[in-house]
Amino acid sequence: MKIAVLAGDGIGQEIMVEALRVLETLRLPDLQLNFADVGGVAYKAHGHPLPQETLDLVMSSDAVLFGAVGDPSYDDLDRHLRPEQAVLGLRKEMQTFANLRPARAFAGLENLSALKPEIAGAIDLLILRELTGDIYFGDKGRRETADGLRQGYDEMAYDESEIARIAHAAFKAAQGRRGKLCSVDKANVLQTSVLWREVVNEIADDYPDVELEHMYVDNAAMQMVRNPGQFDVMLTGNIFGDILSDQASMCVGSIGLLASASLGEGSRGLYEPIHGSAPDIAGRGIANPMAMILSVAMMLRHSFADENNAVRIEQAVAAVLEQGILGHDLGGKASTIEIGDAVVAALS
């Protein structure tokens, strides 16, 4: 089990410590942790947010645990040197086209959701976000119009092979859950979405046991607030998935609870919380490490087929939350270390 550990910037350093404590509590055989710089700390030490030595380590590892990147002190750098570019670079090099972002209600936290408790308590969904195409990777730039006005542009594009591979992943995920798939697009406006819907419909024939529906992204955002319990698996493009998964985090109580897995064709994956580096609270010992800990569970499940220990971690997290040991983001007073202590104790 060769794991590349990239803690990154801000609270990434603090939450990674607790996640590794949880991982080491499992006493797994042949566990090998290798550490490298990424993001702003990598730029400071190596002159690039994703140094070649870090990339080499990643590509020779079985899985990657990733904390967070981002630091406002680097905002004036050229775009390709900013810390956030490390994430896009890793996704591209690892060819991790499928981003899995589960969101479910935890017992005892229903009142912390922005939604009514009875609505929040029904949430148990998985967002499958396409990760290597769409507007984030299209042609982009600045130019001047004929009348001298500044103009920015970003190209949104998908080809059918990109849509097909994420669609297959989504249908298979739905087969392992409740058998329902909602494909989110904007086919009434965007040509990329027209093609998206066509390809998803074609692939649906291979999965007769999965119930498929299509929903425009604006309606999906509304339905996630009105009745999130209706969703099982949600299939989205890159930008829509980015937005909807953050919305889902507040529906369950905090972005500090949502983990993610970025997967490609093989078993190697990139595992990270969906939140950022939170420089405003970095170093204060109050960051919630639960999303990072749950990312470890996703790593064990998807890269190492260790369902037993993945479930053990998830159950330990649920037990700690139900006991009322809550981070500051959830209205509690538990420190980063105290939350880590509680999860380790629940596993022991």
Based on the residue annotation, tell me whether 116 is a catalytic residue of this protein.
no
Based on the residue annotation, tell me whether 206 is a catalytic residue of this protein.
no
Angle separating helix axes 52-59 and 85-94, nearest 10 degrees: 40
Structure tokens at 201: 């419909």
Q: Is 187 left (phi over 0), alpha (psi -120 to 50) or beta?
A: alpha
* Cα–Cα distance for residue pair 202/339, rounded to 1 Å: 46
Q: Which of 44, 136, 172, 180 is catalytic?
A: 136
CA distances from 78 to 48, 53, 85, 213 (A): 11, 21, 10, 42
Based on the residue annotation, tell me whether 136 is a catalytic residue of this protein.
yes
Angle separating helix axes 217-226 and 238-252, nearest 10 degrees: 10
* Cα–Cα distance for residue pair 114/281, rounded to 1 Å: 22
Structure tokens at 208: 């007769």
219-224, Cβ contacts within 8 angstroms, sequence gap of 24 or more: 220/182, 220/184, 220/244, 221/247, 224/248, 224/251
Q: Which of 9, 71, 242, 306 is catalytic?
A: 242
* Cα–Cα distance for residue pair 304/144, rounded to 1 Å: 51
Q: Which of 71, 74, 186, 306 is catalytic?
A: 186
* Cα–Cα distance for residue pair 248/104, rounded to 1 Å: 9
Give Cβ neighbours of residue 286 (< 8 Å, ≥ 6 apart): 327, 328, 335, 336
Instruction: Identify each DSSP E strand in the chain by its residue range.
Output: 2-8, 32-35, 63-68, 98-104, 124-130, 140-144, 150-154, 180-185, 211-216, 233-236, 259-263, 269-273
Structure tokens at 241: 């998935």
Look-up: residue for tokens 């590349």?
4
* Cα–Cα distance for residue pair 98/91, rounded to 1 Å: 10
CA-wise closest residue to 277 among 85, 4, 12: 12
Based on the residue annotation, tell me whether 246 is a catalytic residue of this protein.
yes
Just list the catalytic residues.
Answer: 136, 186, 218, 242, 246
